[in-house]
Structure 1
């Protein structure tokens, strides 16, 4: 099992974090992530997906969080999802009006990315967002599993 260095301090294991940038999304905001099979576009889609995604964390242990330069925001944290370790780097870019324009989220390791995408796919099955996540059969293929002989 992969582990990521967290602080080990239970007081730093946040369960209540709401990103400040989530409340000010541009009309043409985009989001890319290692758990997605495409680019999410628009504030409603970004909010719906991130609102559910945030419920999957057992906790978040932040190493870095805040402004980076004049037009960027960064989050670097470790966490667990269903007990599995996951590391995340989030880079947010703002437009000239100060609205969130682009969100890029990179998770690691691959097994946690696959778990995350599976959980998201299950939750959003039958919705307009379902195609943005791996389906169980895709995950089985990636993990080298096959059905039948």
Structure 2
């Protein structure tokens, strides 16, 4: 797959649903530039990804497809509260073909920091909040 048309996504990408979200290994991990530490376990990873997608005002994919033997890559533009984001998501599959390790890069830095604080707000009062910046940090 080399374009949004090939990946089945629409121009705005809000209808795009990543296959790997329903194919997470039980011990999947998620790391990101907007995160403190590594989230572990399919439930935590899925919960974080679903909430993160709710923050996006749009997703404009330039690529969503395979890379290498065990990889999947998403590259897209997005915005959160009007602030632009460039996003790269890498997914590495395990031997069973499940999504094992995910890494998410958001940039530029000011948008990444806003995104992290908004995620902290979404998870306030839960253990998942610790992965994101609070207003005081």
Above 0.5 in TM-score? yes
Q: Which residue in 2 is equivalent to 1:127? A: 126
Q: 2:88 matched to 1:95?
A: no
Q: 2:30 matched to 1:27?
A: no
Could you tell me how far apart the structure 1 residues matched to 2:32 and 2:85 are? 14
Q: 2:47 matched to 1:48?
A: yes
Q: Deviations over 1:89-134 (max 9, x none)?
A: 0010000000111000000000000000010001101101111111
Could you tell me how far apart the structure 1 residues matched to 2:65 and 2:83 are? 26
Aligned residues: 128
Q: Which residue in 1 is equivalent to 2:106? A: 107
- Structure 2 residue matching 1:102: 3-state secondary structure: strand
Q: Deviations over 1:3-35 (max 9, x none)?
A: xxxxxxxx6122111111111111110000011
Instruction: Report the RMSD for the aligned CA atoms in angstroms.
Output: 0.9
Q: Which residue in 2 is equivalent to 1:81? A: 80
- Structure 1 residue matching 2:126: 3-state secondary structure: coil
- 1:12-23 correspondence to structure 2 within 5 Å: 12-23=11-22
Q: Which residue in 1 is equivalent to 2:37? A: 38
In structure 2, runs of 5+ residues without a counterpart are 1-9
Greater Cα radius of gyration, structure 1 or 2: 1
- Structure 1 residue matching 2:57: 3-state secondary structure: strand
- Structure 2 residue matching 1:28: 3-state secondary structure: strand
In structure 1, runs of 5+ residues without a counterpart are 1-10, 139-149
- Structure 1 residue matching 2:73: 3-state secondary structure: strand
Deviation at 1:59, TM superposition (A): 0.6
- Structure 2 residue matching 1:136: 3-state secondary structure: coil
